[in-house]
Chain A
Amino acid sequence: MIGYILFGLVALVAIVSAVGMLLSTNAIHAALFLVINLICIALFYLGLNAPFLAMVQITVYAGAIMVLFLFVIMLLGAEQVTLKSQLKWQAPLAIVLAVVMIAATFLLFFNVQASGGLSPLAPISEDPRQTETFGSPYAVGEVLFGAYLLPFEMTGVLLLVAMIGAIILTRNEAGGMRDEQRAASNE
């Protein structure tokens, strides 16, 4: 019972913060709303017995990525810019499409219910010991370095490549001149 009340509270905060993010005109406020939203998601993970994922969510999304967001907003001075919507047709279209999407989802849901309900594809184990530990750091580590070892290692290579790329594209070592520099030196 207390689990449902907690879930309801957190869900309410999550929805309010998401709507707040969409509606606030100040970019900094929007970013702060997003932080609240991301923390709520971390709480959901905690409620689903996945403490490791919850901590990762907080450190990576609510921590690192949000700092990056705020940094870029401040660097660009985007918080002062009041954006006039360029695409006037976008808002009504979005509302129509959202309604269609919700209707389609409901239709599908009731159809499935009528035809006997959806059978769970991968039955979740009834063993309480297993459901309590499936999101523990140990279990996550075992999957990450076991079945998913190859994608994990490939992601490591991917990050290395991204790092090399960032250095190459921003630092022009080879002594070549950019087009605009060449134009300037010709004048």
Chain B
Amino acid sequence: MQLPILESINLMAVLPVLIIAGWACVLLVFDLLIPRSRKHWTAWLALVGLLGAAVALFFQIGHFARLGSEAAFDGMVTVDGFSIFLQVVFVLTAIVGVLLALDYLPRHGIERGEYYVLLLFTTIGMMIMSMAADLIVVFVALELLSIPLYILSGFAGMRETSEEAALKYFLLGAFASSFLVYGIALTYGGTGTTRLTGIAQAVTSDALNLPLTTVGMGLLLVGLGFKVAAVPFHMWTPDVYQGAPTPVTAFMSVGAKAGGFAALIRVLVTAFPAIASEWGTLIAVIAGLTMLLGNIVAISQSNIKRMLAYSSIAHAGYILLAVAAAQRSENASFAIGAVVFYLLAYALTNLGAFTVAIAVERDDGTGTEIDDFAGLGKTRPWMALAMALFMLSLTGMPISGGLVGKVFVFQAALQAVPGDPLLLAVVIIGVLTSVVSAFYYLKVIMVMYMREGEGKAVLPLALKTVLAATAFGTLVLGIIPGPVFQMAQRAMLK
């Protein structure tokens, strides 16, 4: 008997995901045959799989520019410009994640092939998250994103900090997931469907079940707010970022955040347009708090990984501001464009900054203090220059992607609801906290150039490649942002 569903599966639309998923399973078996002294083979094989997915994505870009969007798996997922753009970000981040680990893992005595397999699995979770069109898929993708990251945080299990990071991340993450599931249950109870477009039809402003659905939406916000490290749900970030092996931190600070934002935008914009002013207000308030706390607490940090953790909280605040700006449908495409552009700029800059942190880190996991950067300006001039560029970009200085991203975010917020005092206030907070952030970002540059020190760093070819690529990308986004932003704006939901 032919099930009618088989015709609507549409495997070609999700080809990049299938390539990575299949390759990860194959790699798991291959890894058994690779002798322990040659585990870097697994890394290169993982790269092959990711490049295969990148090629498939490249062909999809043209295809979807013509078509707009396509549903797959009976409407469970929607592949459109938004998801393609984010999938490119995820695959690039995963490639960087492999390259960063290539030398780090053997140097720290934690080299195991499963690292690369888990990296591929969490990448699939992120990719599916960006195309989810059903709350069930959002939930399972979120778990698929999170569980490998819990394991990877504890990958340096013989270090107590790594163990602590994994346990904290797991317990708090499971707690946050339960909020998400409860939110899904209430939304289902209120609307009778888990399909995002179906929810949008059922939630009208005069619906009887509106209180139930609104509470459900709020709980969904809690679950996803945890993933993006927004302020009342940010507690785990500093400890996990500091304790996890640095390549994992780099990967998760970019990938998990972008995944969380992808789901947040899909759920809020697609499913809850009827209560947009409610979630818009809520997110604007969270954005303001997140910027304030992240930037102010980052000032007092002396550890580079912890400092970057608070910086990542702060940047979540800026991105949330653009999400809040998507509350009006006329402004949504510009606001979503600002979000994905900011995510790309943040990804490049942050991966670069963590690459430098990995180069400076010593084999026993020490050397992550900002003081350890002293003297790098003399011993490693090019690396110091790149790090200076990343710090300037995170602050939002000219000729860097960070500035352009911030300008787009603020512009989106200002034109979202003209004359809205709340959004205006949050934009002002955003500008002021950007100024505050200069204090701790510039401190790193000052330590590198002005202070005497050993300036020791290990910079193998893989790290050099990543450093050059991310620095180049940050500059390109800063100097000629036009083409990329046009692409980002076209990356709207369909």
Contact = CB atoms under 8 A, between A and B. Distances in A.
Contacts of B111: 174
B308 interface: no
Given A164-B118, A168-B151, A179-B160, A155 B140 contact: yes
B140 A169 contact: no
Interface stretch (B40-48, B70-78, B411-419, B437-445): B70-78
Contacts of A161: 118, 121, 144, 147-148, 151
Given A169-B154, A174-B109, A164 B114 contact: yes
Nearest to B139: A151
A91 to B, nearest CB: 22
A178 B158 CA distance: 4
Interface in B451-487: none
A23 interface: no
Nearest to B122: A161
Contact of A158 (B76, B77, B112, B147): B147
A157 B124 contact: yes
Given A161-B121, A161-B144, A154 B112 contact: no
Interface in A106-145: 108, 112, 115, 118-119, 121-122, 142, 145
Interface residues of B, number: 47
Interface in B81-126: 109-112, 114, 117-118, 121, 124
Contact of B140 (A158, A168, A175, A178): A158
B77 A179 contact: no
Contacts of A5: none
A112 B76 contact: no
Contacts of A142: 3
A151 B135 CA distance: 10
A72 interface: no
Interface in A161-186: 161-162, 164-165, 168-169, 172-179, 181-182
A147 interface: yes
Contacts of B76: 147-151
A169 B157 contact: yes
A142 B1 CA distance: 12
B144 A149 contact: no
A11 B137 CA distance: 34
A152 to B, nearest CB: 9
B430 to A, nearest CB: 36
Contact of B112 (A112, A119, A173, A177): A173
Interface in A51-66: none
A173 B74 CA distance: 43
A12 to B, nearest CB: 26
A151 B76 CA distance: 9
B128 interface: yes
Given A147-B5, A176-B158, A157 B109 contact: no
A146 interface: yes
Contact of A177 (B9, B150, B158, B166): B158
Nearest to A154: B140
A154 B5 CA distance: 18
Given A154-B140, A164-B117, A149 B208 contact: no
Given A154-B141, A157-B121, 20 more contacts: A142-B3, A148-B76, A149-B9, A149-B73, A150-B72, A151-B134, A154-B137, A155-B140, A161-B121, A161-B144, A165-B118, A165-B150, A168-B151, A172-B158, A174-B109, A174-B110, A175-B109, A176-B110, A177-B158, A182-B158
Interface of B: 3, 5, 9, 21, 25, 28, 72-74, 76-77, 109-112, 114, 117-118, 121, 124, 128, 134, 136-137, 140-141, 143-144, 147-148, 150-151, 154-160, 166, 191-193, 202, 208-209, 211
9 contacts: A118-B209, A121-B192, A151-B76, A154-B128, A154-B144, A155-B140, A161-B148, A178-B158, A178-B160
